[in-house]
Amino acid sequence: MDRSILFVKNYLNGIKKTKRKKVIFIDEFPWMDTQRSGFLPVFENFWNDYCTTRNDLIVIICGSAASYMVRKIIQNKKGLSKRITKTIKLNPFSLSETKEFFKYKKNPIEKMELLKIYMAFGGIAEYLENIKKGESSVMAINRMCFEENAYLENEFEEVFKSLFEENSYHHKIMLVLAKKPKKGISRDQILKELNISSGGRFSDSLNDLLYSGFVLSYVTHNGNKKVKLYRIYDEFCLFYLQFMTKFKGSSWINIYPKQEYISWCGNAFESICLKNVSLIKKALKCNQILSNDYVWHNENAQIDLVIDRNDNIVNLFEIKFHNVEFSIDQNYLQKLRKKEQEFKETSKTKKSINTAMLTTWGVKENKYSQAILSYNITMDCLFDKE
């Protein structure tokens, strides 16, 4: 590694000095810093002893192993401490950006189909790039995930092997979370499922998954008690663990009509909504108002999303994935009334309670919807820009 850096120094010294900036771009930095390479200390010396003596150099380092980049670079307490000028976290495409991506590719996809594709693959450009023009979500998922030698057949295992150490808990934590895709589970429950005690290796693994965007931590209220829960945040990982491992060798054409997939769609849609509360608040026209946003339940009722606003209004959201307009009947009206009552009695709030629904195609207007809903929001809001 010392010889490589020496080569870089000699090369840079051979370039005529001008005011024009020279860019040193190092891609997949974590891959170079293997256990015995000693690359990171050499790079630290290169920056401190050479690069800082010149005013014409810009050094850019990238890495797909987000946990490494955070712990070893951004939080570096040695040679790179306080040396970073700018950090950029490259997030997956949002639904809005995914729509624009397919528009740019001259492959316009109707919103419901786009949502189903997104629920399976997320906003990973490399995956979306492989969707062919004219394919339905069913055809694309079957070809990329279930056909023989499918493009994403072993993707989950390969990604985790490339990003994380084999003796860590990353993979095991994901398997535990996959058992509770909707409700999520607490840190203590994860430890119990793994049959281990809390320690640095477990904490590092869980934090790595959070940093890398594979896992989401969020607050839920169990009655008046706040609890932090964890659930799988990455759409493809959830899809892989729910379907590709269980139905390996099967055809998606035979799987997607099953009730298991229909139920999963509801969970996946809810997760996307929880990721995009800011867009939901924008649809409510209350995005400038401070609020406390969380999931709520007690022994008798469960509310998908609570937006507890500083303007003395609480929005209770029911989130539904439905292939057609959702229709509220008398029984469902009573169910929603029960949720309002349970929340009000348990929280003892004096604020105004407004029930809202966020569904794919909206709620059919009838006397029952008029009696309960303050807002009827569709998936369109999730395709909006921030």
pLDDT of residue 181: 63
Task: Retrieve residue 321's tokens.
Answer: 């994935």
Distance, in Å, from the CA atom of 328 to the CA atom of 273, rounded to the nearest integer, reads 21
The helix (H) or strand (E) run that includes residue 230 is strand 225-232
Asked if residues 183 and 296 have their Cβ atoms less than 8 Å apart, the reply is no
pLDDT of residue 11: 85
Cα-flanking dihedrals φ and ψ of residue 50, to 5°? -120, -55
Asked if residues 302 and 336 have their Cβ atoms less than 8 Å apart, the reply is no
The helix (H) or strand (E) run that includes residue 375 is strand 373-378
Q: Which portions of the chain are predicted below pLDDT 50?
A: none
Q: Which residues does residue 228 pair with via DSSP β-bridges, in sequence order?
A: 219
pTM above 0.75, yes or no: yes
Q: Is 114 exposed, middle or buried (0-12, 13-18, 19+ CB in 10 A)?
A: buried
Residue 110 CA, chain-centre distance (Å), reads 22
pLDDT of residue 332: 97
Distance, in Å, from the CA atom of 135 to the CA atom of 114, rounded to the nearest integer, reads 11
* Span 276-383 CATH architecture: 3-Layer(aba) Sandwich (3.40)
DSSP secondary structure, 347-372, as one string: H---SEEEEEEEESS-B--SHHHHHH
Cα-flanking dihedrals φ and ψ of residue 352, to 5°? -75, 130
Give pLDDT tens digits for 4-14.
777 888 888 88
Asked if residues 221 and 227 have their Cβ atoms less than 8 Å apart, the reply is yes
pLDDT of residue 7: 83
pLDDT of residue 290: 96
Q: How many CA atoms lie within 13 A of 145 on its CB side?
A: 31
Describe the crossing of helices 39-49 and 2-13 by its angle, rounded to 10 degrees.
Answer: 30
pLDDT of residue 365: 95
Percent of the chain surpassing pLDDT 70: 99
**Domain ranges (residues) in the chain:** 2-74, 92-212+232-271, 276-383
